[in-house]
């Protein structure tokens, strides 16, 4: 099955073989080809406990960042990262990176409950921070992060990759902003995932480490709800979680859902760990955006109707039903974050949005009713 990178490589190969293609190539934005000039910033990585770290690093590199060094406590994770990025120096410890005044940004995918404390240390060392979701696993951590961020004025960015690194979702944002479906009334976000039990570390099954299913994989959906409804204030109407099929992991949660009400719209979220092995993807991630004049549906990873690859967008309005292949849509987050670091702006994501999405996830998790099904 071809992915977006395959399409991109074919497009570039075709373009550079023609004279017209040379003009096209020179005009393409950095988000498509990746930044081609001298490095804009220098960054390092601390914590490699989730594979998302590779996508995080690539986003910054694509945006103009130069990867200088990395550190991980686990030799196997460090060896794999070094193989992928031989240009990066392996630091002897976290302190070496934090005290390197040339480093402007630290990127992390550490174990979830370790991410916020690391971010606090990073900000207190005068550096910006970009972290995998969940970037914060408790309301107490959130209060401390907010306090230190306000004191230091550093950037604390959580990469909600289901929006920021998904081309169909980026395109949906452009269409909504252009008024393609009128005013957004509701979002419905579905985030099913495959367990892959044998590949999971011990902390994956410990709620204290990963924060709970709504805090963890649900965090993407809270981000999307706020973004597409334009809500600056929101509350959790109801939430529930449960471990309905994995009693061998008593500290695990495999199902959760939430109802939300914001000042810009309403939302429903469902997340689970029940993607069957028969699906040719880790999950059939979907998002429906209901507007006053139409709706958009995204099939982010796979179209079970048969279209190849991911990044599928369907738009229905008063005139037609339209399909949009989003496999070549640029991904702006990495470049925007790099420029925010240089210019002290908030184009990639406002700090308040980042924290509000996390706060909603944490409050939904904390107040969730337990789902108990008959066995």
Which CATH number characterizes residue 201's domain? 3.30.360.10
Q: Tell me if 62 sits within 8 A of 363, measured CB to CB.
A: no
In this predicted structure, the answer to whether residue 283 has a pLDDT above a threshold of 90 is: yes
In this predicted structure, the answer to whether residue 19 has a pLDDT above a threshold of 90 is: no
What is the band of 306 on the pLDDT scale with cuts at 50, 70, 90?
confident
Least confident of 1-15, 80-94, 140-154, 264-278: 1-15
User: What count of other Cβ atoms lies within 10 Å of the Cβ of residue 344?
Assistant: 11
In this predicted structure, the answer to whether residue 24 has a pLDDT above a threshold of 50 is: no
According to DSSP, the residues that pair with 321 across neighbouring strands are: 316
pLDDT of the residue at 42? 98
Nearest-angstrom CA–CA distance, 267 and 248: 32
Q: Tell me if 102 sits within 8 A of 67, measured CB to CB.
A: no
What is the band of 121 on the pLDDT scale with cuts at 50, 70, 90?
very high
Count: domains in the chain: 2
Query: Is the Cα torsion angle 328, 354, 47, 364 positive or negative in sign?
Result: negative
In this predicted structure, the answer to whether residue 12 has a pLDDT above a threshold of 50 is: no
Nearest-angstrom CA–CA distance, 216 and 364: 11
Same domain for 282 and 241: yes
Position 118 in a domain: yes
Torsion over CA of 201, 302, 6 and 106, rounded to 10 degrees?
-40
In this predicted structure, the answer to whether residue 2 has a pLDDT above a threshold of 80 is: no
Of 25 and 172, more confident: 172
> Of 133, 159, 185, at which residue does a domain stop?
159
> Of 129, 159, 189, at which residue does a domain stop?
159
pLDDT of the residue at 184? 98
Which domain covers residue 192, as residue numbers? 163-332+361-370
In this predicted structure, the answer to whether residue 349 has a pLDDT above a threshold of 90 is: yes
Same domain for 170 and 90: no
User: What count of other Cβ atoms lies within 10 Å of the Cβ of residue 311?
Assistant: 26
In 125-190, alpha helices (H): 139-152, 161-164, 167-177
> Of 95, 127, 159, at which residue does a domain stop?
159
């Amino acid at each position: 099955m071809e992915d977006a990178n395959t399409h991109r490589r074919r497009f570039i190969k075709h373009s550079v073989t023609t004279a017209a293609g040379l003009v096209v190539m020179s005009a393409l934005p950095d988000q498509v080809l990746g930044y081609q000039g001298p490095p804009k910033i220098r960054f390092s990585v601390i914590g490699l406990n989730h594979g998302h770290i590779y996508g995080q690093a690539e986003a910054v590199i694509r945006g103009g960042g130069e990867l200088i060094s990395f550190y991980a406590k686990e030799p196997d994770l460090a060896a794999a990262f070094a193989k992928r990025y031989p240009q990066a120096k392996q630091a002897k410890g976290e302190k070496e990176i934090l005290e390197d005044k040339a480093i402007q940004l630290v990127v992390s995918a550490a174990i979830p409950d370790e991410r916020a404390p690391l971010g606090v240390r990073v900000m207190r060392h005068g550096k910006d921070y970009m972290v995998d979701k969940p970037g914060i696993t408790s309301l107490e951590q959130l209060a401390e992060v907010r306090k230190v961020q306000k004191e230091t004025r550093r950037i604390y960015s959580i990469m909600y990759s289901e929006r920021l690194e998904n081309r169909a979702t980026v395109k949906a944002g452009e269409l909504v902003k252009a008024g393609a479906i009128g005013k957004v009334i509701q979002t419905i976000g579905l985030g099913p995932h495959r367990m892959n039990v044998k590949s999971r570390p011990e902390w994956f099954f410990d709620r204290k480490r990963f924060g709970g299913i709504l805090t963890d994989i649900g965090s993407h959906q809270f981000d999307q709800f706020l973004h597409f409804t334009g809500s600056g204030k929101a509350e959790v109407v109801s939430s529930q979680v449960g471990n309905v099929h994995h009693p061998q992991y008593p500290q695990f949660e495999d199902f959760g859902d939430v109802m939300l009400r914001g000042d810009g719209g309403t939302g429903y979220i469902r997340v689970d760990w029940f993607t069957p092995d028969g699906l040719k993807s880790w999950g059939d991630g979907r998002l429906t955006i209901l507007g006053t004049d139409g709706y958009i549906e995204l099939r982010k990873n796979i179209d079970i109707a048969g279209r190849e690859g991911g990044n599928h967008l369907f738009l229905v309005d008063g005139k037609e039903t339209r399909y949009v292949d989003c496999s070549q849509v640029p991904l702006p987050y990495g470049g925007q974050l790099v420029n925010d670091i240089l210019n002290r702006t908030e184009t990639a994501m406002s700090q308040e949005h980042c924290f509000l999405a996390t706060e909603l996830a944490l409050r939904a998790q904390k107040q969730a009713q337990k789902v108990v099904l008959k066995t």
